[in-house]
A and B are shown apart, each in its own frame.
Chain A
Amino acid sequence: MRPPASFVVPRGLHPGAWWLWALGLATAASRTRNPVLLLLIAAVAGCVVAARRTEAPWAKAYATFLKLGLVVIAIRVVLQSLFGLPLPGHVLLTLPAVDLPSWAAGVRIGGPVTREEIAAAAYDGLRLATLLCCLGAANALANPFRLLRCLPGALYEAGVAVVVAMSFAPQAVTAVGRVRAARRLRGRPDRGIRALRGLAMPVLEGALERSVALAASMDSRGYGRSAGLPARTRRLTAGLVLAGLLGVCAGTYGLLDSSASGALGLPLLGAGAAFAVAGLTLGGRRVSRTRYRPDPWTGPEWLTVASGLIAAGAFVITGARSPAALAPSVAPLVVPPLPALAAVGALLAVLPAWLTPRPAPGHGTVHSGQPAAREPV
């Protein structure tokens, strides 16, 4: 049997699918302090990124987040050994301790550092680092522009504003380079605090001029066309969305806070979501615009999301059955166990590396031919 076209034709996977997959992995990571499982999750995310990323600028996000994660681990370990509460165990080294006055009791600076407390800090740091890796993977794989295009019609205006803002950043960088060069041309220093004001004004003025030009262009290209609708409908839409979002917030709080009654949380969440959806649908109905080639949601998307959710599910189940397997003891320090269910769940999440279509060549790829004709002044 040959695979269906949606698996074979190169294309970008729906960005929402990548985000749900990454959130599934992140949920799994947040459930455990087991370093073996955490490393496994980070490796799975890295493997999928390596197989399915594009040449686009955001595709480098995984490496950036990975480095950030390593920094987090280092900071966590250093802070623990300097200020952390001591855990009894094998002393690795003894830092010079500072004697603090009695009113600062409970605060420790320096003193003995044990293997156990280093391990505990490293496990904690690793969990955070793995969460960052999952975020990095989502950022690297999902095209932010296409993600914004998936917003419901009622949020379309907000989406456009974000796209415009996103394109502003790289232009501002170019502009700063140009203006700094120009300062040199006037014989002024191009570094330091004094240079800052001279830099900011031209860059901001340029940005302002550009936004006016952009607004003119958008207006003459039909942006906000036939948006005229009765004030009553507009108020109803706004009211529904606002009430819905409040409901969702309150409901989530009720679900997550163990002291609140769970019976209250779930219905509130459901009602909030219903209100918000009704508002967005009503608001979207007035928008007479259409979408060019919306990203389809087909087999590969379902598979990707499923693999992420299975990983999360495997960890949740393992956590319920044998909590010790997910939180290995540090005092005494033991070799972390490898619970089979969680490991298999995490490994399943690597499937999108093969089962999704290859990314289309193009977006972000600079083809041969004309180089990007951008020179410094």
Chain B
Amino acid sequence: MIDFDRVTVTYDGAPAPALTDVTLHVPEGELCLVIGRTGSGKSTLLGAVNGLVPHFTGGRLAGRVTVAGRDTRDHPPRELADVVGFVGQDPAAGFVTDVVTDELAYTMESIGLPPDVMRRRIEDTLDLLGLADLRDRPLATLSGGQQQRVAIGSVLTAHPRVLVLDEPTSALDPPAAEEVLAALQRLVHDLGLTVLLAEHRLERVVQYADRIVHVPGAGRPVEVDSPARVMATAPIAPPVVELGRLAGWDPVPLSIRDARRLAGPLRAQLGGAVPARRGRPPGAGVAEVRGLVAGYGSTVALRGIDLVLRRREVVALMGRNGAGKSTLLGSLVGLLRPRAGTVTVDGLAPYRQPPREVVRRIGLVPQDPTDLLYAETVAAECAQADADAAEPGRTGGRGSAAEPGRTRDLLDRLAPGIDGRAHPRDLSEGQRLALALAIVLASTPPILLLDEPTRGLDYGAKARLAAVLADLADRGHAVLLATHDVELAADVADRTIVLADGEIVADGPTRDVVTQSPSFAPQVAKILAPDPWLTVTDVRSALNRG
């Protein structure tokens, strides 16, 4: 169905090809997963399938790509619209109309299908993707999972034979991701669609894949094989695979179910051992929230929150989209005025303080770190952050006055080797997050908040982030991160708070909170339940000890 024949892609002005000598054959009806580190060329590979690379992006494509017998050399993306459905990273950015049914009709209108066919296909697609209740809703009012399903539906109505998806679940909370993946499963099984899918969150998708294309990047050859084979050696792997490798299971399990069936001996081997107590004894409280009610517009997002953040403690804030996580973070840094209750950060109410005073006490890295960046180069951004931090007129006299180069040093510690002349928007997701983090840390706030920091990060970047956060807590910072990523929370958080509908429904040590609830349990906990293991690292150190 999809054939790559010795394909090499070089973008204009790039020193090295983005994709080197790829030969690949994806047969009809297969769900093929593309994995690789950030910046390894996954998106280039996907874009080449429907001709966006190079027709739209520019650059030079050597070799030949054919889809359903059509050569992308002679067929620009618009001429392939009836064969390849392409859904980009941000579904909302690709919407052309404003209402669900109109969006579903758009591709068919472009292709020129007769009206009665359109009516029928739209009804089919609404049912297929579970969108029937949303048919007349404006697109802007949909949740992330709904938007993603509409985006998939809007290309499906053209009855393509290939569906290409770039990170369809990265931005979604676990239930929304389930929605989308269930819909994809149905498409593959019922319609025999060929699906090519790139995803960082392997733990969500790897068990559905028929085949994995591993793009290692840096000019090394692409590896194409069955999931179990690729996963046995790939440098990026979900916890279930890591655990399988550690225990020496062969073939490595890809799903909780497979792993659980193999896990008996390992559980016995671990015996009654308990995970090493980790973490630091928490220090003094630095932020306190009492009876907080907050919201925006007519919505009340928080209905009476009580919370204390302590030094030397990493706290994970979990809960579905719209549960009030971002509102709580916004209230803590004073972006929102409490409607009732109090927020006290380092002895002050943040919303009454000028911004400059607030950032010395509490720093927030927003969901999209790009919002924090506005200089033209990384170096300028760092200099600006130094200047901001060194501004005179500070009252607290906390920490040392920021000396030039401080932000750059922080950045080098977080993510070494970023070119100072690069434009911040050209950095990878992980590098951008590191830059935003360095800027926030330049004012040495004792409290650090992060909103969804793992969006778009690969496993390597996530592990580095976890190490950085643990290190910050060791140095006496209080860290609060709002996240959907249960694996990260299990890895780094000492304490976990679960928000639902604006109220705290659980607050306690991570080990207790996440093992009690299946939707927040990390993979290792699910495999080794009822024993309280959370991460592969826990298990590894226990095995080494024993």
Do they bind each other? yes
Contact of A185 among B86, B93, B372, B425 (CB under 8 A): B372
Across the interface, do A292 and B122 meet the contact criterion of CB distance under 8 Å?
Answer: yes
Nearest B residue to A183 via CB reads B355
Contact present for B138 and A290 (CB under 8 Å): no
What 1/0 mask marks residues of chain A from 214 to 236 whose CB sits below 8 Å from any chain B CB?
11111111111110000000000
The one of B107, B118, B136 that contacts A222, using a Cβ cutoff of 8 Å: B107
Query: CA of A64 to CA of B346 in the docked complex: distance in angstroms?
Result: 46
CB distance from A39 to the nearest CB of B (A): 34
Contact between chains at A363 and B99 (CB < 8 Å)? yes
Is the Cβ of A222 less than 8 Å from the Cβ of B81?
Answer: yes
* Cα(A288)–Cα(B78), bound, Å: 13
Q: Is the CB of A291 within 8 A of B371?
A: no
Q: Take A189-B355, A367-B133 as given contacts and tell me if A178 and B366 are in contact as well, using a CB distance cutoff of 8 Å.
A: yes
Q: Which residue of B lies closest to A370 (CB)?
A: B143
Interface presence of B253 (CB below 8 A): no
Q: Are B115 and A290 in contact (CB under 8 A)?
A: yes
Q: How far is the CA of A370 from the CA of B146 in the complex (A)?
A: 10
Contacts of A375 in B (CB 8 A): 296, 301, 322, 326-327, 330
Interface stretch of the complex, out of B217-225, B232-240, B356-364? B356-364
Complex Cα distance, B135 from A361, in Å, reads: 11
With a cutoff of 8 Å between Cβ atoms, the chain B residues found around residue A220 in the complex are 50, 52, 77-78, 80-81, 84, 86, 155
A186-B439, A360-B136, A372-B141 known; A292-B109 Cβ under 8 A: yes
Cβ A187 vs Cβ B154 within 8 A: no
Contact: B136 with A219, CB < 8 Å? no
Instruction: Flag whether B216 is at the interface (Cβ < 8 A).
Output: no
State A181–B335 Cα separation when bound (angstroms): 7
Which residues does B use to contact A, with CB under 8 Å? 50, 52, 55-56, 76-82, 84, 86, 88-90, 93-99, 101-102, 105-115, 118-119, 122, 133, 135-138, 140-144, 146, 154-155, 158, 296, 299, 301, 321-322, 326-327, 329-330, 333-336, 354-356, 358-360, 363-364, 366-368, 370-374, 385, 388, 391, 425, 439-440, 443, 451
B108 touches A363 (CB 8 A): no
Contact at A179–B371, with CB atoms within 8 Å?
Answer: yes
- Report how far A278 CA is from B143 CA in the complex, Å: 45
Q: Is the CB of A221 within 8 A of B113?
A: no
Q: Besides A225-B112, A360-B136, 10 other CB < 8 A contacts? A: A185-B355, A214-B96, A216-B88, A217-B95, A224-B78, A294-B115, A362-B137, A371-B322, A376-B330, A377-B451
* A67 on the B face (CB < 8 A): no
- In the complex, what residues of B have CB within 8 A of residue A182's CB? 366, 371-372
What is the total number of residues of chain A having a CB less than 8 Å from a CB of chain B? 63
A113 to chain B: closest CB distance in Å? 45
Contact B140 A292 (CB under 8 A): no
Q: In the assembly, what is the distance between CA of A170 and CA of B141, in Å? A: 12
Closest Cβ of chain B to A165, distance in Å, is 12
Task: State which of B81, B143, B301, B425 has its C-beta within 8 Å of the C-beta of A205.
Answer: B425
Give CA–CA (A366, B141) in the complex, Å.
Answer: 7
Task: Find A225's partner among B78, B296, B385 (CB 8 Å cutoff).
Answer: B78
Instruction: Flag if B52 contacts A221 (CB, 8 Å).
Output: no
Is there contact, CB below 8 Å, between B78 and A187?
A: no
Docked pose: A215 CA to B93 CA in angstroms: 9
Q: A184: CB under 8 A from chain B? A: yes
CB <8 Å contact, A363 and B136: yes
Q: In whole angstroms, how far apart are the Cα atoms of A60 and B131 in the complex? A: 28
A-chain residues with CB within 8 Å of residue B327 when the two chains form the complex? 375-376
Assess A213 versus B88: contact at CB under 8 Å? Given A189-B355, A220-B78, A363-B138. yes
